[in-house]
Structure 1
């Protein structure tokens, strides 16, 4: 089985503190995750001043403040990004961040040379943004929460256009469809894009997770598929790996009791480490699919299996019958699979009770 790329999603769980963000990088590195991911945005470019917050955000932040006011406190400066990128490098973990606006995209891609871009579910219909991401990213991870299959396909058309279209070609529905239908467009999508199934609710209820949608998208688009998890606990992402998820993304925090929009649906440090360990165990357990005894099983076959033995004293030339022939451990002799081949045959030697037939 391929190695699952595990993204420890710090998001905005730093609460606007660079010191907390550095601690989150330490936790992600110690957990064994492949990447730690933050969120890069300008509240002014992302949200209207009076935009309301989601219901779950109202429960975990100041109920009276607007979404703009909440996000403004969670922005990371350019200088903060540099500190975090440098620290991640020292800790040996890949730094990623999700951009939510063009200014943030160019900061990550042009200024800091971040070539792997994660697109959040809320931007999947933002065609102008998708085109710009596709034009500058080497690899795209696209979350599909809240989307229909048709909306995912439409986004893939836009991204395919961004991958292969010329800068002076005017974007249009026709151009998107042509790019998506082209051999080059499909090749670029297969080599440079991973879809993430997601349920955009915090926390996501188990009966709305629908992991089988991963199979649906894989069959529909022929692309690599992973899973961005917002459920409580570690068991759902582990199950997604068993279903073939190539990427797992999971929110984590220093402390679930901290104030902020995403802490309550996040893993604490010990839980993140456990999730990574369980995923690595599942990867090993999937194996190659060939049914055969494993190296450790060979020593147990003789102990657990049976052989043909005499259940009565049998003299040489005596006929083997169902009364004097049986099957008992150990399995070092003739296999019971040959039981009926011996019934009715003459014994070739003397056999005492419990003596193995040879």
Structure 2
């Protein structure tokens, strides 16, 4: 069993799932709105808030060439340039400290996804407790090495990555000093369809790379996260917004506060339900044993009378002999008179 510590939380199978609310650009360029999101996440019961640390200039260059436009009819951001999208979506770096302080005040972990080495240096100055490598950056080996060299826990999302790509990323992280690695199964489409989630990969990833594995989920609803916990996911990450109609950059596929609260509740129920391999009555079932079926006398009998199908029955409650003895009892004679409604015992014969 693996586990690691992130601030005051543990991640591992012996601990309830670590639930991350991803703010992304859903703050709509308002620090007050960002802090409102943090407060709502705390009320929902999540463990952590995650930011994204970049600027438009650290992500791309300001070009109008075709390849710098999003040209995908299925994309929420169809027709925008990459530069304009990131300029709209980025979280101002001067907000980070305020947001992280708010997280700490409300008992949550605050951390971020850096998108270049300058972001790592900035986040190190704020002493973040962990880092996440986004799916689109899981091929950025220099960035992975930079993050891993901090010695802090590292999440790496697996979106689009082949086993070979993941192996390179994992080796880069470990060789650079990462001792606490968590892979997050991810499908990098927005929103994602559950038919492409392939969460059966979760236990395979854990065995293949000998590490904790969780889920970074872009599907709508609770089904995929809950099923992932049953397959061993120890981390659940979901995008979070105050409302899917508030024009946040990722709001259309993000969870609203009531949904996030339900996610926290149901994911933790799912985790508690896994338990261990167990047979026989549990502590909670002991009182139910009396309501099983058993064999009862159903007519008044005099001493010496024979047991027949007319004077015994298999009924509830369960105070008599077990039903498996029914055929053996037929033809036997009672040694004393017995009243109707008496549970059958061997002492009667």
TM-score range, shorter chain: 0.7 to 0.9
Alignment pair present for 1:245 and 2:233: yes
Residue ranges of structure 1 left out of the alignment (5+ in a row): 165-187
Partner of 2:276: 288
Q: What do you get for the CA RMSD once the two structures are aligned?
A: 2.1
Task: Provide the rounded CA distance (Å) in 1 between the counterparts of 2:342 and 2:284.
Answer: 28
Task: Provide the rounded CA distance (Å) in 2 between the counterparts of 1:48 and 1:11.
Answer: 20
SS at match of 2:159: coil
Partner of 1:8: 21
Q: Please say if residues 56 and 202 of structure 1, whose CA atoms lie closer than 8 Å, have aligned partners that are also in contact.
A: no
Q: Please say if residues 116 and 137 of structure 1, whose CA atoms lie closer than 8 Å, have aligned partners that are also in contact.
A: no
Q: Please say if residues 76 and 190 of structure 2, whose CA atoms lie closer than 8 Å, have aligned partners that are also in contact.
A: no
Alignment pair present for 1:298 and 2:286: yes
* Alpha-carbon displacement from aligned partner over 1:141-181 (angstroms, at most 9, x marks no partner): 111011112221121111121117xxxxxxxxxxxxxxxxx
Length-normalised TM-score, structure 1: 0.85
SS at match of 1:86: helix
Task: Provide the rounded CA distance (Å) in 2 between the counterparts of 1:139 and 1:43.
Answer: 26
Instruction: Please identify runs of 4+ aligned residues in structure 1 that moved more than 4 A.
Output: none
Task: Provide the rounded CA distance (Å) in 2 between the counterparts of 1:285 and 1:328.
Answer: 32
Task: Provide the rounded CA distance (Å) in 2 between the counterparts of 1:295 and 1:250.
Answer: 35
SS at match of 2:99: helix
Residue ranges of structure 2 left out of the alignment (5+ in a row): 1-13
Q: Please say if residues 191 and 219 of structure 2, whose CA atoms lie closer than 8 Å, have aligned partners that are also in contact.
A: yes
Task: Provide the rounded CA distance (Å) in 2 between the counterparts of 1:355 and 1:18.
Answer: 74
Greater mean alpha carbon deviation, residues 75-84 or residues 13-22: 75-84
Partner of 1:142: 156
In the TM superposition, residue 319 of structure 1 has moved relative to its aligned partner by 4.0
Q: Please say if residues 303 and 336 of structure 2, whose CA atoms lie closer than 8 Å, have aligned partners that are also in contact.
A: yes
Partner of 2:325: 338
Q: Please say if residues 42 and 104 of structure 1, whose CA atoms lie closer than 8 Å, have aligned partners that are also in contact.
A: no
Alignment pair present for 1:31 and 2:48: no
Greater mean alpha carbon deviation, residues 148-157 or residues 196-205: 148-157
Aligned residues: 328
Alignment pair present for 1:348 and 2:339: no
Q: Please say if residues 56 and 261 of structure 1, whose CA atoms lie closer than 8 Å, have aligned partners that are also in contact.
A: no
When residues 226 and 348 of structure 1 are mapped into structure 2, their CA distance, relative to the original with a 3 A threshold, is farther
In the TM superposition, residue 282 of structure 1 has moved relative to its aligned partner by 1.4
Question: Aligned match of 1:162 in 171, 176, 186?
Answer: 176
Task: Provide the rounded CA distance (Å) in 2 between the counterparts of 1:290 and 1:349.
Answer: 42
SS at match of 2:307: coil
Q: Please say if residues 53 and 112 of structure 2, whose CA atoms lie closer than 8 Å, have aligned partners that are also in contact.
A: yes
Instruction: Answer 1 or 2: which has greater helix percent.
Output: 1
Partner of 1:66: 81
Task: Provide the rounded CA distance (Å) in 1 between the counterparts of 2:42 and 2:294.
Answer: 53
